[in-house]
Each structure stands twice: as structure tokens, then as C-alpha cells.
Amino acid sequence: MRKLIALLIAAAWLPMAGAQATSASGDTVDTAAVVVDGRTVAEVRGIAGKPAAERAAEIEARIVAAARDPAVRLEQMRVVETSLASQIQWGDRVIKAVLDADAELVQLDRRTLAEIELRLIRESIMRYRAERTPERIREGVQNALLATLAFLVALVVLFWIGRRVAAFATTKLKPRILGLRLQAIQLRPGEQIWASMAASGRGLRLLAVALLVYLYAQYALTQFPATRVAGERLASYLLDPLSRMGRAFVAELPSLLFLLVLFFVVRVILRMLSLYFSAVGSGAIQVAGFERQWAGPTFRLVRLGVIAFALVVAYPYIPGSETEAFKGLSIFAGVLISIGSSSFISNYMAGYTLIYRRLFAVGDRVKIGDVFGEVLDVRVQVTRLRTFKNEEVILPNSTILQSAVTNYSTLAASRGLILHTSVGIGYEVPWRQVEGILLTAAERTRGVLKDPPPFVLQKGLGDFAVEYEVNAYVATADDMMTRYTELHAHILDLFNEHGVQIMTPAYEGDTAEPKIVPRERWHEAPSRRPPDGT
């Protein structure tokens, strides 16, 4: 009767092993289980200076050492009472000390608990020795070999049956399935059906192989003491994750339904936007102030915005989005994208900026930084220019946004483009004469407009010369370099014709005569100012 009561008490409290127990006062107590060969022998609590896990590991090591020592006789193991503990001993060797704190966990007196644990330790030592006898090891090896042979035979039979079924399906069923046709819409879904059936067959074969592997591994592992625990818990290793995933799926089902609805709504919105911008691009729909060529880039931007907004809305409903792992992975992915695509994104955004700001168009004459030429193509990433030496220059759009851009063609057709050049003339030459020479040179240049007429500016009074700038209007920038060359040639010829020295930029030697213009020379040819004192 005493043995039965002891076993019932042990069965009641041993399943609590390894958990955090609760004392009579309601406080959480640090406890740990003593496990030998996968079976719980006792439960201990932490004491001053030694956590429960460390104490349990020491007791387990002493039990295993006693089981391995053939000199230890089970009938000689006994409980020895001391003032502080009830010690389970063999001779002078202490196997386990039962403290008052241990007895408090199961609400038994210390002596009774020690007797129960003595019986359990004896049984665990007996079982440990019995399972490691040479006869039991040979039996386990034989059983494992037979299981391996049966496993290999089952695999061979499974693959043989699979090949026979596949051959039958290929010769008998495949022609009929591929011949299926939906007459209403003239669709032949046979290939899709056959592909689905083949994938299902491969999935069933893989499932059968996995089942055979599981049965073989469980049986083979339980044949040896060192791997018996893993074999007994193999099902829990496989089924516990599936069980947790199933519970998680049920718990996240409302969020998944929300994500599904959001996906279809976003698809419908994107389809409607695509149709609208296609109509704008084709001219079927006209929007005031909106260029047709903007339709494609604008749709891509709007689509990106819709998808980004959908992701923001969907993020809280993504399973696991609140976990630290998911947040860390998101940050890591964002860092990788930002590092790896910084130049791509900057050029992409710069390309759209150029498109909408209309800094230049194809065919315009522009100067970007030090590059001067005709615009051949404006893309999202780069812009292509052709220089006046027939060289193709490809500039990243991000570089263009950071550079000074001069467009010579934008206002040329409406207001005219002003060609301008500067010369330095000494103070002894009448400024009216210089003005007339420069205006005459501009008028002789082909393509220069008469309305508005050319004009001359006196830009500065230097140390040795006056800086004059001639400005002349042309209607187009297409041949501006040719016009500049012709204007410079006429300036050189006219100054030589009138005996006027061009002093640009300066000269080092100077004559003793003062650089002044007498009044009688103020209106020398080809001065345009009337001799009225001005």
C-alpha cells in the first residue's frame, strides 16, 4: 500500500518538472528536473549560490555515475537523515540530498519525499543498466539493420509503383487530357491540367517518402539508449511546428482575408489607371496643361504611389510584422536597397524631374556643365547629347540636375537668341567709333535680325582699355557657332580697316602720349551718333 501511494504522489508532481513552480506564498520558484535517459527522476529547486539547473545537472551526473559503476548495489542504497537534509546514499557516496525546500514544492515531508525519490533512482539505475547490456545492444543493432533493410525495400517498391503509375498515365491519360478543349472560348486547358496532375503525383510520392523516413528514423532511434529520447520525441519535433503554424494561421485568418481583399482592390485600381493614362497618351482624353508624352511616366509614378500606399496599409496585417525579427529584416533589406541602388534611384528621380520641368527637349542646343551640343534623347536614367564635333556624350540625369544648364533654343524662336562677344579698345579711340565698328560687324553677319537691332554695351573701364560688348539677335540656335565665327571675322576685318588696335585682354608696354580722344575725333567713321554734343 505504501508503494502504491508513493507512486501516485510521484506521478502527480513529476510532470511539473522543468517548469517554474509556485510556492505557498504565491511567489515563483526556480526549479529544474533531474532527467535520466529521458525520464524525470526528481525535481529540485535552486538554493543559495547554486541555480536549480546546475543542481539538477550535478545530481543527474551522480546518478549516471552510480549506474555505470557495477560496484554500486541498489539494495545498499538508503536514506540517511541529517539536520539539514535527507540524503540518498550508497555507502559514503551521496547521490542526492532532499532539502526542506524540495519537499515544500510537493507538500510532503522530507523523509517521505526522499523514500519516493530513492525508489525512482533505483528504478532509473536498473533501467539504465538493463538497456546497456551487450545482449540489449546486439538486439538493438539487429532491429536497426532489419528496419534499414525494410526501409530500402519499401523505397524500391514505392519508386517502382510510381514509375508504373506514371507510365500508365503518360500513355493512357495524357493524350485525352491534352485533347480537352473549351468550345465556348476555344481554350485548350489540357497542358495546365496535365502539369497540375504531374505536380500532384510528385507531391504524393515525396509525402510517402517522408512518411517512410519518419517511421524508419523513429524505430531505429528508439533501439538505442543514447538516441531513444530523440526517437520518442520525433513526432513532437515534427508535429509541434505544424500545430503552431496551424494555430497561427487560424489566428491570422482575418488579417489574411484583409490582405486578399486589398490585393484585388489594388489590381482593379491599377487596371483603371492604366486604361486612363493610355487614353491620355493616345490623345483620346485631353487634359489642359498636361502633355501627352507625360502619360507613360506619370502612370509609372502613380502606380508606384498606389503600391507604396497599399504596402503601408497592409503592413500591420502581415503576419509577424510586429516581431523584432521582421522589423530587423525590413531594416536590413532597406539598408541593402538604399546602398545598392542609391545612384539608380537618384538618376531615376532626376530623369522624372527633367521630364516634368522641361529643361530641354530633343533637338535643343544646350550647354550642360562643360558639354555643349544638341539633345538627342532624354531617358529616365541618362540624357544623350551630340556635340558640334559629332561626338555622343551620355550624361547621368543626377549629374545634370547638379549642373548649370543653358538652353539656347527655348526662347530663340519667340524672342530671338542674342549672340555676344567682347573686345578691349584703348582709351585713345573714340567710343562712338568703336560702337559703329561693332554694329557694322554685326549687320554684316548672316542670320542677324534687323528687328530688334544689334546694340553695344560698354561693360567696363579697365586699366588700359575699355571693354565693349556687341549683342546681335538671331532667330535660331541651330548654327550659332557658325554665326559666332562669322561675327568675329567681321570684327577683326573692320578694326583693321579703320586702323584701330584691339587690346584684349591687355598689353604690357605703353606709349608716352596720354590716352585721350580729342573732341574733333569723337564722331569718326563709322560712328552712328550724330555730332550734337553727345
Pick from 166, 161, 160, 155: nearest CA to 199:
166
pLDDT(29) > 90 = no
Residue 269 pLDDT: 93
DSSP 171: I
206 CB contacts (<8 Å, ≥6 apart)? none
pLDDT(3) > 50 = no
Model pLDDT for residues 120-164, shown as the tens digit of each residue: 888 888 888 888 888 888 888 899 899 999 999 999 998 999 888
Residue 297 pLDDT: 76
Tell me what the mean pLDDT of segment 439-452 comes to.
Answer: 90
Write phi, then psi, for 285 (nearest 5 degrees): -120, 130
Report pTM.
0.44
* Ranges 101-105, 421-425, 441-445: which has the least confidence: 101-105
Residue 12 pLDDT: 46
Q: Domains in the chain, start-ordered, CATH in brackets?
A: 2-130 (no CATH), 135-232 (no CATH), 253-340 (no CATH), 360-407 (2.30.30.60), 412-521 (3.30.70.100)
pLDDT(510) > 70 = no
Q: How confident is the model at residue 9 (pLDDT cuts 50, 70, 90)?
A: very low
Pick from 368, 375, 380: nearest CA to 294:
380
* Ranges 77-81, 319-323, 407-411: which has the least confidence: 319-323
Tell me what the mean pLDDT of segment 391-409 comes to.
Answer: 82
Model pLDDT for residues 492-503, shown as the tens digit of each residue: 888 888 888 887
For cell 496532375, what's the residue?
197
pLDDT(5) > 60 = no
Strongest mean pLDDT among 230-239, 348-357, 512-521: 230-239
Percent of the chain with pLDDT over 70: 83
Q: How confident is the model at residue 379 (pLDDT cuts 50, 70, 90)?
A: confident
Residue 13 pLDDT: 44
Model pLDDT for residues 308-352, shown as the tens digit of each residue: 899 888 888 887 777 777 777 777 666 666 665 556 666 667 767
Residue 472 pLDDT: 92
pLDDT(456) > 80 = yes
pLDDT(376) > 60 = yes
For cell 538505442, what's the residue?
224
Model pLDDT for residues 183-222, shown as the tens digit of each residue: 444 445 667 777 888 888 888 888 899 888 888 888 888 8
Residue 445 pLDDT: 92
CA atoms within a 13 Å half-sphere pointing along the CA-CB vector of 337: 7
Percent of the chain with pLDDT over 90: 12
C-alpha cell at 524: 569718326
CA distances from 430 to 401, 464, 497 (A): 46, 14, 15
pLDDT(82) > 80 = yes
pLDDT(20) > 70 = no
Amino acid present at 261: V
Residue 261 pLDDT: 92
Give yes or no for a contact between 247 and 258, defined as CB atoms under 8 angstroms apart. no
Average pLDDT, the chain: 80
Tell me what the mean pLDDT of segment 63-68 comes to.
Answer: 86
Give yes or no for a contact between 348 and 304, defined as CB atoms under 8 angstroms apart. no
Residue 189 pLDDT: 64
* Ranges 98-107, 301-310, 342-351, 396-405: which has the least confidence: 342-351
Q: How confident is the model at residue 27 (pLDDT cuts 50, 70, 90)?
A: low
Strongest mean pLDDT among 284-293, 363-372, 422-431: 422-431
Residue 367 pLDDT: 86
Pick from 46, 55, 3: nearest CA to 28:
46
Residue 534 pLDDT: 55
Model pLDDT for residues 212-254, shown as the tens digit of each residue: 888 888 888 888 887 777 777 777 777 777 788 888 778 888 8
